[in-house]
Amino acid sequence: MSATHSFSSLVPDVILDAVESTGLWSDSRIYPLNSYENRVYQVGIEDSTPVIAKFYRPDRWSEAQILEEHRTLLALKDEGVAVVAPLAFAGKTLFCHNDIYFCLSPQLVGQHPEADNLDELYQLGELIGQAHQKMSTPFVERISVSPLAQMDDAAKQVWLGKHLPEKLKPLYKKQISTLRDLSESRIQAYWPTQLRPVHGDSHRSNLMLHQGQFHLLDFDDCQNGVAVQDIWLHLTQTENPRQQLSEIIEGYEVFLPFETRELDLIDVFKSARVICYAAWLQNRWSDPAFVRAFPWFGSDEYWINHLNELKNCELEWGNISR
């Protein structure tokens, strides 16, 4: 069953049936939350606070991979790390309804970090450092990061897909080749001997300030990776990111020393993210939620802007490590 077909079955009655299969009793209030890869809803509970119901995209992660994510979150919570862990019912955190895996989590109300707030960047560094300190054992089931392979796979998908205009393909091929060569050179100069567990997608929307404490949300992309993967997404100043970086690393090193050679990998991860984002949109285009949310995808204007993004990755190469 395709993800699109499965998600189309998530009508209100099905969502409520899934939630109530855990033993909770809903008050029938459902509010969809902003999520494209999965489907996430706030569901009201009788005489209690709402819960967050997350329905996993079919065929993306295996049961074993999702359970490893859940075990990690529960362990982090037990260690005092501010994360949102899944709720357990009769010892289980993962459930299946209508062939879709789902879990329930407590509702968290708060604000996302301010992009240029240095005090908050220090706090984010502390949280990421604490999480990395406690996630000391590499994942067994989750994927391991491989930037060059991810670039190659994403670029191939875009090239063979139907959305990139033929007239722009030569420019696309040239820009991808340039960024791949730069990335390969960086990786050859330094790559850690052992990968470590990381959140994998710790952008601002996956952090929330709740009752004076930042919390890490949504470990859907947790993987074996490199510490700087969870740091670089918080650098919003392209011309002079050093002050932001200094605050994050200072907070991080309250819990763990930071390997500064990883800074040279930021350009690699940035380029991979830009390349993979276009492939992700293309691969999900059969999902009506993506068509509604990204109507401009596939237009000439989109691809011209995408080529400019790729060019900027090249032009800004080395700004961090200078």
261 alpha carbon, distance to own chain's centre = 23
Q: Place 322 in a pLDDT band, splitting at 50, 70 and 90.
A: low
Integer distance in angstroms from the first to the last C-alpha of the chain? 50
Q: Report if residue 322 sits inside a domain.
A: no
Q: Report if residue 73 sits inside a domain.
A: yes
Residue 70 confidence (pLDDT) above 60: yes
Q: What is the mean pLDDT of residues 285-308?
A: 93
Residue 2 confidence (pLDDT) above 60: no
Task: Residue 210: give the domain boundaries.
Answer: 118-315
Q: Last residue of a domain, which of 106, 128, 148?
A: 106
pLDDT tens-digit readout, 209-248: 999 999 999 999 999 999 999 999 999 876 668 889 999 9
The verdict on 100 and 223 lying in the same domain is no
The verdict on 94 and 122 lying in the same domain is no
Q: Report if residue 133 sits inside a domain.
A: yes
Q: What is the mean pLDDT of residues 5-22?
A: 92
The verdict on 137 and 273 lying in the same domain is yes
Q: Residue 23's domain is classified under what CATH number?
A: 3.30.200.70
Residue 1 confidence (pLDDT) above 80: no
Q: State how far the Cα of 312 lies from the Cα of 24, in Å rounded to an integer.
A: 50
Q: Report if residue 235 sits inside a domain.
A: yes
This prediction has a pTM of 0.94
The verdict on 211 and 92 lying in the same domain is no
pLDDT value, residue 3: 58
The verdict on 17 and 57 lying in the same domain is yes
- Total Cβ atoms within 10 A of residue 49: 9
Q: State how far the Cα of 266 lies from the Cα of 69, in Å rounded to an integer.
A: 25
- Total Cβ atoms within 10 A of residue 132: 21
The verdict on 98 and 141 lying in the same domain is no
The verdict on 96 and 11 lying in the same domain is yes
The verdict on 254 and 150 lying in the same domain is yes
Q: Place 6 in a pLDDT band, splitting at 50, 70 and 90.
A: confident
Q: Which residues are catalytic?
A: 201, 218
| Feature table: binding site for Mg(2+) | 206, 218
The verdict on 129 and 23 lying in the same domain is no
pLDDT value, residue 34: 87
Alpha helices in the chain, H assignment, sequence order? 3-8, 12-20, 63-78, 118-134, 147-160, 169-189, 242-252, 266-283, 288-293, 300-315
The verdict on 186 and 45 lying in the same domain is no
Half-sphere exposure of 57 (CA within 13 A, CB side): 13
Q: Report if residue 299 sits inside a domain.
A: yes
pLDDT value, residue 5: 59
**Which residue in the block uniquely carries the two structure tokens 């009788």?**
46
Residue 321 confidence (pLDDT) above 70: no
Q: Report if residue 113 sits inside a domain.
A: no
Q: Report if residue 66 sits inside a domain.
A: yes
Q: Place 8 in a pLDDT band, splitting at 50, 70 and 90.
A: confident
The verdict on 45 and 96 lying in the same domain is yes
Q: Last residue of a domain, which of 84, 106, 128?
A: 106
The verdict on 124 and 96 lying in the same domain is no
Q: Report if residue 320 sits inside a domain.
A: no
Number of folded domains that form the chain: 2
pLDDT tens-digit readout, 120-165: 999 999 999 999 999 999 999 999 999 999 999 999 999 999 999 9
